[in-house]
Amino acid sequence: MTKLVDLCSAKGIKVWGWHVPRCETSNKAKREASNILGIASNFRLDGLIMDAEHGPGFFRGGKKEAEVYASEMRKVADKIAKPLAISSHDIPQNMRGWLPKFNKIAFVADFNYPQVYYGSSPSVEHRLTRAEEANAHVTIPFRPVGAAWIGDAGGCSSASACAERAREFIRLVENRGYEEYSFWHWAGAPNAFWEVLNTVPGPPPTEENGDRS
């Protein structure tokens, strides 16, 4: 893994760590953050993403556990001098009881990567606008994540829809002045999506974001 990170670095590709917190208790929240510190240091990661989500198999603690996790992850990021981001539901208010916990975690982050999974929405613009409104209280940079797969839970209905909506997503985020965007999940992306990604120019690299995610 270290060799892979080094090879990516040599090509100008930044490698971030992606953590899905469970945090059943405050002690477990501290332990999870401690584990991330070790991994991030060992593999010399360029940044950390807290994939904090509501629902079975995801965040299991309450508001207190969210606060502990957020505080510990902020300490980890500061210790290794790397940026810290949150990637969660694009409309956290839709998840019963999630917003207070989301806010505790989001407010320690440097970047907000909301999961704008627009596949079953009336349009990409409709979903992106709703995500913007729902995250207006989170004042860190908004850098949306689009849908690059076919299927349920926000994925697209077909390969052609995946490609068409990806093209529209890129157009919208660039027109609205966002410096960065990304997609999930590439392992399940159809060839039509890759054709879009390989032919539509992305935003120019900045010192902050490096290459397009």
> For residue range 92-116, what is the model confidence (pLDDT) as tens digits?
999 999 999 999 999 999 999 999 9
Angle 124-128-134 from CA coordinates, rounded to 5°: 150
Rama region for 171: left / alpha / beta (φ>0; ψ in -120 to 50; rest): alpha
Q: How far is CA 71 from CA 101, 131, 198, in A?
A: 13, 25, 39
- As a whole-number percent, the residues of the chain with pLDDT over 90 amount to 92
The C-alpha atoms of residue 176 and residue 162 are separated, in whole angstroms, by: 21
pLDDT band for position 203 (cuts 50, 70, 90): confident
CA distance 47 to 96: 30
Domains and CATH numbers, the chain: 1-91+100-111 (3.20.20.80), 114-205 (no CATH)
pLDDT of residue 135: 98
* Averaged pLDDT, 124-137: 98
pLDDT digits (tens, 9 = 90+) for 2-54: 899 999 999 999 999 999 999 999 999 999 999 999 999 999 999 999 999 99
Least confident of 31-40, 132-141, 202-211: 202-211
Q: Band the pLDDT of 186: cuts 50, 70, 90.
A: confident
Band of pLDDT at residue 67, cut at 50, 70 and 90: very high
pTM over 0.75: yes
Tokens of 163: 């490609």
Peptide bond into 19 cis (omega under 30): no
Kindly indicate the confidence band of residue 73, based on its pLDDT and cuts at 50, 70 and 90: very high
Please report the pLDDT score of residue 206 as a whole number: 61
pLDDT band, very low/low/confident/very high, at 202 (cuts 50, 70, 90): confident
Q: How confident is the model at residue 169 (pLDDT cuts 50, 70, 90)?
A: very high
| Helices and strands, counts by H and E, the chain | 7, 6
